[in-house]
């Protein structure tokens, strides 16, 4: 009579490009030179936008901002696997992924400047606005995936989340739904080791986040999140599996939040500079640069061109954003429902000074 093993599970780790730029060509995804350069250019653009946003905040020209420094590969590599017809659900720290998706840079700045119009995603672009309550977009993404499946649309949905988000009930419920209904959705977790000041060890006792997929009966994989090839490879496989009816995947990108949590945070209160230093050596852009240089895809002139173009793009976006007239306060009311209710009409009129006061 048995005490016997009835289930076995493995969690795999994928790294293609190590921190010195050494690449396992067998594992390397079949990207063209152009595509590799594109990955690099997106990462550079993401970083320059990030640096600029940080500076603007410090100058009082932007509100609270959440830096993506260090997470460029995780974001760019994963978003690069998406088609425009796929849907993307960001958390709140996805400027890099949004850049790849083609969200106008101006809108990214506009959002962080405290203007809802930054979330008015252009028609035809299947990106959801930023979600602030951690993890709550996960079931929504699953629902969109379910709708796509019902409609027979051949698309995948990608939902971004952090290590902290894995503790929320909505993570569990969303992934569980995705498993039960075998939905075309990829959960892209950027394990950057921190949820504000709370380290991963306080978020879970599990050794990996990838293994959480076991609870839902689908695959999880852990990848080097600073290796854009590994991220792209895993994301691409998962997205294809999703589109072809193979169901969901959880991808854990092991990375590090190099900056403060947001511009409102001071990470030196709770973590040591040495720990951050360790991760500087693993910089995702540096290692791709080394690889490209060795392959002849990168030289100083190229670097100059790429950074200059990125700077230019960012500067234009800043100028554009700062030229946008302030939002119309009537927008508070207008978008509450498809049609303004009598009640809201009354409140708006009162606000506008129906009884003699003018507030605009």
Length of the chain equals: 360
Interface positions, 218-277, toward its own copies (CB under 8 A): 218, 222
Greatest C-alpha distance within the chain:
87
- Is residue 165 close enough to count as binding ligand TPP by CB under 6 A? yes
The nearer residue to its own copies, 215 or 344, going by C-beta atoms, is 215
Hey, what are 237's tokens? 């496989």
Strands 185-191 and 157-162, sheet pairing: parallel
Q: Which is nearer to ligand TPP, 219 or 252 (CB)?
A: 252
Q: Which of 31, 24, 32, 136 lies closest to 89, judged by CA?
A: 136
By a kind-dependent CB cut-off of 5 to 8 A, residue 93 interacts, out of Mg ion, other proteins, ligand TPP, none, with: ligand TPP
CA–CA gap between residue 159 and residue 184 (Å, rounded): 11
Nearest CA to 62 among 74, 70, 51, 73? 51
> Does the active-site annotation cover 47?
no
Binding of other proteins by 60 (CB under 8 A): no
Q: Does 104 bind other proteins (CB under 8 A)?
A: no
Q: Among the options 101, 106, 241, 257, which is catalytic?
A: 257
By CB under 8 A, tell whether 170 contacts its own copies. yes
x/- letters, 133..162, toward other proteins (CB under 8 A): xxxxxxxxxxxxxxxx-xx-----------
Is residue 65 part of the annotated active site? The answer reads no
For residue 190, give the H/E element and its range.
Answer: strand 185-191
- Within 10 angstroms of residue 167's Cβ, the number of other Cβ atoms is 15
196 near other proteins, judged by CB under 8 A: yes
**CA separation, residue 338 to residues 117, 128, 300, 341 (Å):** 17, 19, 53, 9
Contacts of 195 (CB under 8 A, 6+ apart): 134, 162, 163, 164, 167, 203
* Piece in contact with ligand TPP (CB under 6 A), picked from 126-134, 180-188, 246-254, 263-271: 126-134
Between residue 182 and residue 211, which ones bind ligand TPP under the rule CB under 6 A?
192, 194-196
According to DSSP, the residues that pair with 186 across neighbouring strands are 158, 249
In the complex, the smallest distance separating the C-beta of residue 184 from other proteins, rounded to whole angstroms, is 12
Active site (annotated) includes residue 205: no
Q: Which residue stretch of 164-172, 256-264, 318-326, 336-344 sits at the interface with its own copies (rule: CB under 8 A)?
A: 164-172
User: Which residue in the block uniquely carries the two structure tokens 């500079």?
Assistant: 273
Q: Alpha-carbon distance 206 to 210, whole Å?
A: 9
User: Nearer to ligand TPP by C-beta: 31 or 198?
Assistant: 198
Choose the contact partner of 196 out of Mg ion, ligand TPP, its own copies, none; CB within 5 to 8 A by kind. ligand TPP
11 binds, among ligand TPP, its own copies, Mg ion, none (CB under 5 to 8 A by kind): its own copies
205 near its own copies, rule: CB under 8 A:
yes
Distance CA 327, CA 57 (A): 19
Residue 120 partner contact from other proteins, its own copies, Mg ion, none using kind-dependent CB cut-offs of 5 to 8 Å? other proteins
Catalytic residue among 20, 58, 270, 350: 270
């Amino acid at each position: 009579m048995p005490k016997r093993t009835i289930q076995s599970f493995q969690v795999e780790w994928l790294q293609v490009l190590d921190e010195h730029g050494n690449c396992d060509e067998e594992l390397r995804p079949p990207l063209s030179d152009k595509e590799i350069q594109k990955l690099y250019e997106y990462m550079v653009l993401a970083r320059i936008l990030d640096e600029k946003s940080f500076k603007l905040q410090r100058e009082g020209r932007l509100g609270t901002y959440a830096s993506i420094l260090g997470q460029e590969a995780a974001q760019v590599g994963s978003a690069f696997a998406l088609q425009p017809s796929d849907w993307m659900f960001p958390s709140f720290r996805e400027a890099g992924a949004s850049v790849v998706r083609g969200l106008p840079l101006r809108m990214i700045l506009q959002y962080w400047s405290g203007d809802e119009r930054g979330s008015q995603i252009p028609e035809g672009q299947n990106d959801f606005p930023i979600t602030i309550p951690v993890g709550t977009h996960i079931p929504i993404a699953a629902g969109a995936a379910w709708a796509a499946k019902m409609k027979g649309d051949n698309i995948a949905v990608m939902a971004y989340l952090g290590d902290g988000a894995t503790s929320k009930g909505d993570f569990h419920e969303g992934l569980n739904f995705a498993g039960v209904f075998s939905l075309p959705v990829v959960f892209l977790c950027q394990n950057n080791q921190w949820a504000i000041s709370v380290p991963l060890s306080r978020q879970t006792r599990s050794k990996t986040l990838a293994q959480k997929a076991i609870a839902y009966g689908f695959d999880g994989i852990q990848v080097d999140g600073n290796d854009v090839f590994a991220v792209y490879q895993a994301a691409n496989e998962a997205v294809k599996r999703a589109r072809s009816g193979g169901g969901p995947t959880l991808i854990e990108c092991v990375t590090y939040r190099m900056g403060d949590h947001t511009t409102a945070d001071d990470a030196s209160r709770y973590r040591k500079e040495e720990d951050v230093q360790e991760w500087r050596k693993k910089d995702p852009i540096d290692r791709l640069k080394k690889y490209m240089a060795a392959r002849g895809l990168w030289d100083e002139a190229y670097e100059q061109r790429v950074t200059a173009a990125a700077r230019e793009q960012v500067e234009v976006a800043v100028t554009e954003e700062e030229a946008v007239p302030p939002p119309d306060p009537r927008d508070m009311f207008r978008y509450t429902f498809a049609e303004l209710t009598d009640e809201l009409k009354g409140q708006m009129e009162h606000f506008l000074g129906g009884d003699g006061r003018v507030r605009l």
